[in-house]
Structure 1
């Protein structure tokens, strides 16, 4: 991040207009995704009488986790399609249309089979969309342009802006806008189906924003990455018939190592949308001044808001640390370790919440415990998540750029897929035991990362 402050020429600090238009495209798409994703577990687990599908909690968490899982697996195939055939731009257009169709399936859902179909279609669309948007952001800059890290951080702010507004809106909509309540305000029927129709419409708005962005992109993203692209000078320099050099193989190894460690972070991070969400729904007092706060406001919505609010302070902190260290920034390995530590603190907060309510079945804990968990979770996320795609963009060999961008997302697929099964362990071993085990694993992982930092860094030198 120190590159953001070290360039003396003022014009170098400015970013192309296309960056902000791509960011806006991401905002609307993430509105639909983070609006629709958190309420899936409720749609599945709530009884038929209140508009749910009546699935068991353990099965609901597994199915709900599949949405996050497969939307991170699919970019690998989306990257291959972009690299070899369509190019990033046309993948984004096609992906937006497919996502809109996928979300609309939720309107017709009468069983878990419909939700599985929704997950499959949305995942295919996201696979074509997500990695290729990030690739196009990277194409706006030379490979070693010091503005690149900041560009991905700016994009990340757009992403989290969409996540915040989307989750806030949808969490309100399925209860207060589309739901049916009696005279006393008690919900009689939740409006899950109408909410997913709203998500489908927002995806079409995202498509419209991208079409506007295309006007300022020139020919960027039109051609497959494996072809000579006059707008991508780095690709022009690469002979795609040559095998990888030793340095390039080391660069690929670093991406794989960091992606492996990111799995464990996201495995536990994503409990906020599965097992932890069901836990706080049952054991948290959400009544604030006579208003019942929707549970996802304290997790997804608050997380999105914090990501936007804390993005600039975190960037300033990294810049200050870099300046103090004479221009030497923390490595990605060290930042992942910090992410582990803050997420561990978050789960220790939940241990405190469980102690506070005494573990009694009928007792509830304060909403403040959940807000504190989300704060620690978000700080951990901001330590390294915005720069993951930037590291891949700067480190990956050019001919495998989109593929390795997909590999970075594959790590999150593994984590998302695994996160759905944590509820099984909670049922078997107990909430307190799992809340203690998770931060223990994270702290051990942080120690390993810090111990191996020098060796991992050497692989790219």
Structure 2
């Protein structure tokens, strides 16, 4: 029996039931809300758990290595989406991928909920990386399958779904962060596990009546011959990896430092390979090659932006813990709370930016110049930190308002670059590589965090001025160059505005 058409899938979904949207949006909104609650809750306390002394409930790892591990962890999470998308397309379908991913994420948090050493930490990370790769891209796919391409509610539906992501990201550090840093890290990780469990329960209890056929179809299933070939390749690949691991362990090559370096290199090489394959493919015509050429500086700008933005959970998390006044106006602030600022400002400012771009109409900046503005603000968010550091030195604690201002500025940059980047990716992608180009966009974050794994090791109290000044300055210079090159890049886009 052939797969149903897109319209048949849409028709199978109850089209009213959640603020005028398909009933399934309720299912996916709260599934993603709780998944993000679990992920951002865990992330809010993870770096503290790694470098706090054992007497304080932590693992007592070197602080520099803790920031590198956090960056590599984030990079692998974004890389795993490629595998999760392929498994959904060829093996499980989006719905089962979301369910299996949620189970793996929950198990990862459960592992951290029990006391253990570094081995438990890395086991948890592996489970969450695989689980997020399965769940994150595919839950968004199911949202898209509920609407016809002509449905005027489609963009609004994704906006509501995106609000669920940010609400989960806002609440999690406040609850999990407080419990983890003030009471017990393992209890905090346990709350993250409970959050994912609630998300799974919501998904399982409501998907049958709410989602219809959305997410249940395997778009491009493998036939028996393909399954045999893939199974054979997987077995051969597993043997090669096992042999390489055995050799690395035997000769002492497998260290945390070498693993960080390997992932950092892969984070840069994989996007480069993507670009080369797409550009040289006979399926890519001359106009599409020109658009890919325009996409390259945008991708580099995105890597620069995410490199700064993702340091909110590493370097700025350290700054919040060690260099910020946490007793302020009679309130005791948990350092994890600062990680609620990004989603909070997005919730507040996203409608403002949507209105502003609509108001400007044809007068709004071009795509390259919006990217340029984005990385200008990213650089400025780091330069802002220089002021209290310069005037207070490395001895005194600084007001928490400086961190609030830094987060506010980076969100302005994010709203100039991130949604525009998603839109630009769909417009500039070669027709034969539309899905893979979207994967490439998410790899900009993976590449940024892979670079951060090396970059953040340079941060310390002694290098604060040089660290924030250099990275912030480089971002601003790159933003100015991109702004000046805007008309040239726009010319390579061949009609795309």
Please state if 1:88 is matched with 2:81.
Answer: no
1:235-254 Cα deviation digits (max 9, x unpaired): xxxxxxx9455555556666
**Could you say which residue in structure 2 is the equivalent of 1:275?**
315
How far, CA to CA, are the matches of 1:392 and 1:141 in structure 2? 21
TM-score (norm 1): 0.82
Please state if 1:69 is matched with 2:69.
Answer: no
**Could you say which residue in structure 2 is the equivalent of 1:347?**
382
Count of matched residue pairs: 417
* Residues 176-195 of structure 1 aligned to structure 2 (within 5 Å): 176=182, 179=183, 191-195=184-188
**Could you say which residue in structure 2 is the equivalent of 1:376?**
409
Structure 1 unaligned spans of 5+: 1-10, 180-190, 228-241
How far, CA to CA, are the matches of 1:412 and 1:342 in structure 2? 17
What's the CA shift for 1:428?
9.8
**Could you say which residue in structure 1 is the equivalent of 2:261?**
none
How far, CA to CA, are the matches of 2:471 and 2:151 in structure 1? 38
**Could you say which residue in structure 2 is the equivalent of 1:337?**
372
Q: Mean alpha-carbon deviation: is it higher for 390-399 or for 283-292? A: 390-399
Please state if 1:24 is matched with 2:30.
Answer: yes
Please state if 1:222 is matched with 2:262.
Answer: no
- Residue 456 to residue 76, structure 1, CA distance change in 2 (3 Å): farther
1:402-450 Cα deviation digits (max 9, x unpaired): 4333322222111122223333222497110111111211112212332
How far, CA to CA, are the matches of 2:208 and 2:419 in structure 1? 24
2:394, 2:462 within 8 Å by CA — same for their partners in 1? Answer: no
**Could you say which residue in structure 2 is the equivalent of 1:237?**
none
What's the CA shift for 1:168?
1.1
* Residues 192-203 of structure 1 aligned to structure 2 (within 5 Å): 192-203=185-196
2:71, 2:452 within 8 Å by CA — same for their partners in 1? Answer: yes
Secondary structure class of the residue paired with 2:438: helix
1:433 is aligned, of 463, 466, 469, to 466
- Residue 246 to residue 201, structure 1, CA distance change in 2 (3 Å): farther
**Could you say which residue in structure 1 is the equivalent of 2:343?**
304
How far, CA to CA, are the matches of 2:212 and 2:488 in structure 1? 41
TM-score (norm 2): 0.76
1:90, 1:222 within 8 Å by CA — same for their partners in 2? Answer: yes
- Residue 402 to residue 130, structure 1, CA distance change in 2 (3 Å): farther
2:75, 2:448 within 8 Å by CA — same for their partners in 1? Answer: yes
1:62-111 Cα deviation digits (max 9, x unpaired): 11222211111100111111222222222111111111111111123422
1:274, 1:420 within 8 Å by CA — same for their partners in 2? Answer: no
* Residues 414-429 of structure 1 aligned to structure 2 (within 5 Å): 414-427=447-460
- Residue 449 to residue 360, structure 1, CA distance change in 2 (3 Å): closer
How far, CA to CA, are the matches of 1:416 and 1:317 in structure 2? 31
- Residue 400 to residue 422, structure 1, CA distance change in 2 (3 Å): same
How far, CA to CA, are the matches of 2:88 and 2:33 in structure 1? 22
* Residues 381-396 of structure 1 aligned to structure 2 (within 5 Å): 381-393=414-426, 396=429
1:446 is aligned, of 461, 476, 479, to 479
Q: Mean alpha-carbon deviation: is it higher for 383-392 or for 249-258? A: 249-258
How far, CA to CA, are the matches of 2:203 and 2:289 in structure 1? 35
- Residue 353 to residue 444, structure 1, CA distance change in 2 (3 Å): same
* Residues 311-330 of structure 1 aligned to structure 2 (within 5 Å): 311-322=350-361, 325=362, 330=365
Please state if 1:293 is matched with 2:333.
Answer: yes
Please state if 1:207 is matched with 2:213.
Answer: no
Please state if 1:366 is matched with 2:405.
Answer: no
Query: Which gives a bigger RCO, structure 1 or 2 (Cα 8 Å, sep 6+)?
Result: 1
How far, CA to CA, are the matches of 2:466 and 2:65 in structure 1? 21
How far, CA to CA, are the matches of 2:494 and 2:111 in structure 1? 45
Q: Mean alpha-carbon deviation: is it higher for 254-263 or for 125-134? A: 254-263
Please state if 1:113 is matched with 2:106.
Answer: no
How far, CA to CA, are the matches of 2:424 and 2:207 in structure 1? 24
Higher fraction of helix:
2
How far, CA to CA, are the matches of 2:290 and 2:216 in structure 1? 30
How far, CA to CA, are the matches of 1:245 and 1:225 in structure 2? 26
- Residue 250 to residue 114, structure 1, CA distance change in 2 (3 Å): farther
**Could you say which residue in structure 2 is the equivalent of 1:231?**
none
Q: Mean alpha-carbon deviation: is it higher for 421-430 or for 310-319? A: 421-430
Secondary structure class of the residue paired with 1:39: helix
Output the aligned Cα RMSD.
Answer: 2.8
- Residue 18 to residue 451, structure 1, CA distance change in 2 (3 Å): farther
How far, CA to CA, are the matches of 2:106 and 2:428 in structure 1? 33
**Could you say which residue in structure 1 is the equivalent of 2:13?**
none
**Could you say which residue in structure 1 is the equivalent of 2:258?**
none
- Residue 428 to residue 301, structure 1, CA distance change in 2 (3 Å): closer
